[in-house]
Amino acid sequence: MNSISIFFLIIGALFDLFGCIGLLRLPDVYNRLQSATKSVTLGTCSILFGLFLHYGFSEIGFKSLLAIPLLFFTSTVAAHALIRGSYIFGIKLWEGTEIDDYKKVSPANEKGKEGER
């Protein structure tokens, strides 16, 4: 069981590292948040699961097991709110972006349309 928990700890640390590298290297706020949310959430959940496997059904194990769904849901909702707020505030997408799903439903675009009338 100890080797399995070490495996999850190492995998989690690697995903956290890749998320941090993506946070530094990607071109705009939207890609950076995507990297941070997906990689770091998976990495941190893997680390917490490795802690649970290592400590078992103890106080630390229960806390780490409880933190996994809490972290999963709060980080994804927070990233979505940050991305939507950035878009509404007017932060430009990277010039290489091909799909803009918010363009159709953004309240910021509705304001621009009203000003044209």
C-alpha to C-alpha distance for 16 and 14, rounded to whole angstroms: 5
Read off the pLDDT of residues 31-54 as tens digits, 9 standing for 90 and up: 888 888 888 899 999 999 999 999
Query: Please, what is the angle between helix 107-116 and helix 59-89, to 10°?
Result: 10
Given this model, what pLDDT does residue 83 score?
83
Strands (E), 47-108: none
Which residues of the chain fall short of a pLDDT of 50?
A: 112-117
